[in-house]
Amino acid sequence: MGNIFAGKNIVVGVCGSIAAFKVAGWVSDLAKLEAQVSVVMTAAAGRFVTPLTFAALSGNEVHSDMFADRGQERMDHIGLGRDADALLIAPASANTIAALAAGLAGDLLQTTVLASRAPVVLCPAMNSRMYRHPATQANLDRLRHFGYTILDPDSGMMACREEGEGRLPEWEMVREYLARVLSPPQLVGRKVVVSAGPTREPLDPARFLSNRSSGKMGYALARAAFRRGAEVVLVSGPTALSAPAGVRRVPVQTAEEMAVAVLAAAADADVVIKAAAVADFRPAETSREKVKKERIAATLQLARNRDILRELGERKAAGQILVGFAAESADFLAEGQRKLAAKNLDLIAVNDIGGTGSGFEVDSNQVLLVSRTGQESLPQTSKEHTAEMIIDRVVALLAGASPGGVVPGSGCQV
């Protein structure tokens, strides 16, 4: 699965809010992502931003007048919603939220929503007292009951110079929810636990042992699982990455903290994917105070950390899918098969950390997938695309099938 937005018909409904100008940037991004964007503006929205702005950025005519004469062939008030793959209502005003909750069809945006069966993502934006009013909250509950995805507004300073919740969320967050409603809902009702990033094993408050993992592969897997509808817990060592939208991130530092967090989250998980690069060893002793350099011995005493993957394999419940990662520089297939069996895994992704286009700190990856039924060499591609392909195999494993394309004895090069 490549760009989920390409070729999708997305109706963006813009209401009369001071935040309407922000959505111009969102429409521009959707058009760059090759979506077909139809903007529907309420009359009040036109008081804040001109239709010309949205027309220029979407590359399409903007719709606002339900009674515009378009001839008998076209009826925008039905057609826009009927042909949509998804509806994004942003900013959603208190007024339009109330109208939608009541099932009104008083303007083009309202009729479009009523006539549509496509998923709706709605971003309320308003003064925080308007947002917190029981009427608005009851209306939003009703829209949730209709199955609409309602994004919580951000908090902060508002245009009305009041602090509080009611600001439009960041586009990166909204885009992920939109991607989720456009993606196949194969993991709805499933809990997926992903571990990512390195661990840090402290020598003292200033120094630690760690590794080169950036966390990018694990974060891409968490995002891909979220897009397919899963509830995702991301147990993450220290990385420079921001938390993916909709994912519960549990930050940890050491291998021991990682073990405790992953094993707790995994207890009721349907899928556990261990993409973290957990340190195998830690300093045998950790000093509470910074050790003077003159007192550091030339040889460091190490203690072995727990093998989290092995413990997960031992505790694996019936039906749970356990996926491991192995960073190797040689003997990829043999190592993958050995670890798969030794740790009771369903799938292992063997990473070539010797290559230039895969492994640590780079955006691309090339992995060899080894399952109980065979092996498959994935092409060198982005970590996002690799994550999508791994999630495809996880979906097949959950369905009881052998992971698609993994053919016994097929050639492999990593």
Residues that bind ligand FMN (CB under 6 A): 15-19, 42, 44-45, 91, 93-96, 125-126, 130
Distance (Å, whole) CA 214 – CA 235? 14
| Annotation says 412 is catalytic | no
Which residue, among 262, 365, 242, has the nearest Cα to 305 in the 3D structure? 262
CB of 104 to ligand FMN, least distance (A): 11
Distance (Å, whole) CA 349 – CA 393? 11
Residue type, 368: L
CA 408-184-262 angle, 5° bins: 70
Which residue, among 39, 43, 16, 12, has the nearest Cα to 106 in the 3D structure? 43
Cβ distance 265 to 233 under 8 Å?
A: yes
The single-letter DSSP state of residue 220 is H
Distance (Å, whole) CA 11 – CA 84? 6
Cβ distance 262 to 312 under 8 Å?
A: yes
The helix or strand, by DSSP H or E, that contains position 352, with its residue range, turns out to be strand 347-352
Distance (Å, whole) CA 403 – CA 181? 24
CB of 26 to ligand FMN, least distance (A): 16
Name which of 139 and 320 has its Cβ closer to ligand FMN: 139
| Cβ within 8 Å of residue 73, ≥6 positions away | none
Q: Which strands form 149-150's sheet, in the order they lie side by side?
A: 36-41, 9-14, 86-92, 120-124, 149-150
Name which of 16 and 215 has its Cβ closer to ligand FMN: 16
Task: List the structure tokens of 141.
Answer: 């509950």
CB of 44 to ligand FMN, least distance (A): 3
Place of tokens 């826009």: 80
CB of 90 to ligand FMN, least distance (A): 11
Cβ distance 260 to 270 under 8 Å?
A: no
Question: DSSP characters for 116-158?
Answer: --S-EEEEE-S-HHHHHSHHHHHHHHHHHHTT-EEPPPEEEE-
Distance (Å, whole) CA 402 – CA 393? 8
Cβ distance 209 to 238 under 8 Å?
A: no
- Among candidate residues 15, 123, 160, 412, the one labeled active-site is 160
CB of 45 to ligand FMN, least distance (A): 5
Cβ distance 143 to 101 under 8 Å?
A: yes
CB of 121 to ligand FMN, least distance (A): 17
CB of 130 to ligand FMN, least distance (A): 6
Name which of 42 and 199 has its Cβ closer to ligand FMN: 42
Task: List the structure tokens of 61.
Answer: 């005519």
CB of 30 to ligand FMN, least distance (A): 20
Cβ distance 60 to 27 under 8 Å?
A: no
Name which of 58 and 93 has its Cβ closer to ligand FMN: 93
- Residues taking part in catalysis: 160
